[in-house]
Structure 1
């Protein structure tokens, strides 16, 4: 059995390799520092589980899941990230990951997660289970909606450029659209986030430089 640990922090790779060896001594652990290195390893080894960080060199967005599946359709994928669980877990689960675990959780919880996905189950923390229940309830669905998930692809592009400080006419030129069209997208973005200017938008976003990961 082979587990691929993909993380750009050496201390995480070493720690996980040690812990996995302790709870699953029969498993071979292959550490990778970048996502391209992970893709290469997937072509060389019969990988059973991929433990994947989502912010590292070569990483992109939820499409990483499909790229892994293209090489190893049967591999289990456990996202192991320090990003906000309530923002990123559901998009990655929806994209096909088999679990999402926060790096803020203790290693004992990692043990539960890795064994769950190895047993062909889905690992979702209690926090995300509660979020899902609340999100899909009639009473709570509107209040828990993640505005990032409501943005169209062009709105995501406009949002990214707004945060980078680009002017409206520059955004229009970069996206090859009319300035009036960009103004409409900007208004839609502000409405979805409940803000009136870019400063408010930025202040409402946690880890905004990673927005397009989802």
Structure 2
């Protein structure tokens, strides 16, 4: 049973989401929040498996709240659920540490599947995600910007991921939590414009972090 915290400043939306999740029989709503500040506070106290996060809220918005939750030393995932255009919201949400992104128009059919995928450690992103990341990378190059350098830990998790380590296995290798490792992976992918594990392997080979098996 997935433990979920619902965050939206509209009570009617939270009620609808609660009914949807509880009807599935696969999720338990352990809390609700109507603001970003409340979401961070309840995430710290409840440590749910997942936070279903709206973006547009007064005060601390969903992007800021996601960043704060991602920085907590807990295993909680964040799935952004918004009615806003993904072209505008996707990259800021991912940069903040979101693990998945779903448009509210698809919530009635896809929400539970998105939650379960994210809780299992997978990213749940729209098909346009790779295109948007690639576009951001192209724009940076066109503007003459160098890619933001990876930190030592980001380079290590990229190397371990390319070698086939799961986030949990990489965490044990580095004495870090799985959540922390996944945060490093997400930030590294955004810095480099990578969309998936195949891109990570290619980058690791091209940069020398990983050598082809024939050379090892």
TM-score (norm 1): 0.57
Residue 87 of structure 1: how far off its partner (Å): 1.3
Residue 18 of structure 2 is matched in structure 1 by: 17
Which structure has the larger Rg? 1
Question: Given the superposition, is the C-alpha separation of residues 117 and 61 from structure 1 closer, same or farther in structure 2, using an over 3 Å criterion?
Answer: closer
Q: For the aligned residues, what is the CA RMSD?
A: 2.5
Residue 88 of structure 1 is matched in structure 2 by: 89
Q: What does 1:22-171 correspond to in 2, within 5 Å?
A: 22-60=23-61, 62-133=63-134, 141-142=138-139
Residue 95 of structure 1: how far off its partner (Å): 2.3
Residue 135 of structure 1: how far off its partner (Å): 5.4
Residue 72 of structure 1: how far off its partner (Å): 4.7
Residue 77 of structure 1: how far off its partner (Å): 0.4
Instruction: Give the gaps of 5 or more residues in structure 2.
Output: 143-216
What is the count of residue pairs matched by the alignment?
Answer: 140
Quick check: 116-125 or 126-135, which moved more?
A: 126-135
Paired residue secondary structure (2:84): coil
Instruction: Give the gaps of 5 or more residues in structure 1.
Output: 146-214
The answer (yes or no) to whether the contact 1:47–1:72 under 8 Å persists in 2 is no
Which structure 1 residue ranges, 4+ long, deviate > 4 Å from structure 2?
133-136
The answer (yes or no) to whether the contact 1:62–1:95 under 8 Å persists in 2 is yes
Residue 85 of structure 1: how far off its partner (Å): 0.7
Confirm or deny that 1:6 pairs with 2:7: yes
TM-score (norm 2): 0.57
Residue 65 of structure 1: how far off its partner (Å): 2.1
Paired residue secondary structure (1:3): strand
Residue 129 of structure 1: how far off its partner (Å): 3.5
- Which deviations, in whole Å up to 9, do the C-alpha atoms of 1:65-88 show, x marking residues without a partner? 231123353110011112211111
